[in-house]
Amino acid sequence: MNDLSANKILVTGGAGYIGTHTCVELIEAGHEVIVFDNLCNSKAEALLGVERITGVRPELVVADLRDLPALIETFEKHEPDAVIHFAGLKAVGESVNHPLRYFQNNVAGSINLFEAMRKANVKKLVFSSSCTVYGSPKTLPIDENAPVGNTSNPYGHTKYMIEQILRELHQCNPDWNISILRYFNPVGAHASGEIGEDPHGVPENLMPYVCQVAVGKHDRVRVWGNDYDTPDGTGVRDYLHVSDLATGHLSALNKLDSNPGLMFHNLGTGNGYSVLDVIEAFRSASGQDINYEIMPRRPGDIAAVWADTSLAEKELGWKAERGLEEMCRDAWSWQKNHLNGF
C-alpha cells in the first residue's frame, strides 16, 4: 500500500492528535516530514513520542497558518513535495460561540496555505475534511455522492467552505492534485502507547471523555439522549482507529501520484457503534467501572452516522483494519500512562 517514492511532506497541524499518528506512518514509509504547527492545541513533546516510535524526530516549524510570510518562508526553506493539511480548530461547541475565530483560523488560514503552495509551485495536497459536511444524512451508510453543505455549526461549515475552495481551485488549475478525506470518528492511540489524544480542558468527544472517567477525572459519562431511533436509543457513530486513519493519508498520496486529479473519500470502518457500545467496550478493555448518566438530547446532535467505505477500498486500496476492542485497548494504554497528556 505504501509504495510511493520517498518524498518530503509538509504536515500542517502535525503536532496534533491525527497529525502525530500520520507522521509516524509517513516516517515508517520512508518519507521526510516537516511539521508546521502553532501549538495552539498541542505540545512539541508530542513529536518526542513520534521519535520514540520511529527513531526520527520531525523538524518542527512553530508558526501560524494566518502568517503568510511564515508559510512562504517555510516552503522556500524546506521545498516540500506535498502537503497534508491537518491544522485547524475543531471544537464544535467553541465554534458556535466564536464563529469568526473558526472562519479566520480554518478558512483564511487554509487560503494562506494554498497561496504559499501556489507561490512555491507545490500542487499536491491531502486535506482533512469531516463527515460533518454531510449534515444529517437522509440515508445510511453515507457515500461520497450524498449532499454536502447542510452543516449544523460553524466548524462544519469551515470544512465545507474549504472543500468548495479546493473544488474551484482545481477547476481553474487542473494541474493541482487534491485528495479530500472525510473522516468519521477517529479514536484510540498508537499501539506503543507513546502518542495519543491529549485534549485541552474537558473533551467534547466521547472516547477521550470515557478515558478521563476511567482515570477518575470525571465521575460519569453524560450520555446525551437515549430516545433516538437506534438499537439502544443512544447516538451511533462510525469510530475508526487513528492509526488506520493515518495510513489512509499514505494511500491518498499514492493515489495522487498514480492517478492525479481531485478526489473525495470517506475514511471510516463502515460500522456504527452506539454510545453504550463504546462504554461497554471500554469497560471490558480497561477493567474499569465507567459510570454514566442519561441526559436529555443535545441540540444539533444527530441520531446515527456511518460511512460507506467502498470507494476508499476500491480507489485507494485502503480499509480500516482495527475494531472497537483495539480502539479502546489502545486509548486506555495511552491514557493510563499519560494521566495529564504529554
Ligand X SMILES: NC(=O)c1ccc[n+]([C@@H]2O[C@H](COP(=O)([O-])OP(=O)(O)OC[C@H]3O[C@@H](n4cnc5c(N)ncnc54)[C@H](O)[C@@H]3O)[C@@H](O)[C@H]2O)c1
Write out the catalytic residue numbers. Answer: 155
Nearer to ligand X, 13 or 49 (CB): 13
- Residue 318 is which amino acid? W
Listed in sequence order, the residues at least 6 apart from 55 whose beta carbon sits closer than 8 Å to its beta carbon are none
Question: Would you tell me the crossing angle of helices 109-120 and 154-172 to the nearest 10 degrees?
Answer: 20
98 burial level (CB within 10 Å; 0-12, 13-18, 19+): middle
Q: Across the chain, where does the E strand assignment appear?
A: 8-12, 32-37, 59-62, 82-85, 124-130, 177-183, 185-187, 221-224, 236-237, 239-241, 262-267, 273-274, 292-295
Report, in Å, the least distance between residue 174 CB and ligand X: 25
* 19 makes contact with ligand X (CB under 6 A): yes
* 39 makes contact with ligand X (CB under 6 A): yes
Nearer to ligand X, 15 or 304 (CB): 15
Query: Total residues contacting ligand X (rule CB under 6 A)?
Result: 27
Q: Residue with CB nearest ligand X?
A: 16
Residues 78-137 that bind ligand X (CB under 6 A): 86-90, 105, 109, 128, 130
- Residue 231 is which amino acid? P
* 266 makes contact with ligand X (CB under 6 A): no
C-alpha cell at 22: 500520520
Check residue 318 and report its DSSP letter. -
- Residue 200 is which amino acid? H
Residues 224-243 that bind ligand X (CB under 6 A): none
* 65 makes contact with ligand X (CB under 6 A): yes
Nearer to ligand X, 233 or 322 (CB): 322
Which listed residue (17, 264, 306, 334) binds ligand X by CB under 6 A? 17
Report, in Å, the least distance between residue 342 CB and ligand X: 11
Pairing state between β 236-237 and 273-274 = antiparallel
Residues 175-204 that bind ligand X (CB under 6 A): 183, 185-186
Nearer to ligand X, 169 or 291 (CB): 169
Binding site for ligand X (CB under 6 A): 13, 15-19, 37-42, 64-66, 86-90, 105, 109, 128, 130, 183, 185-186
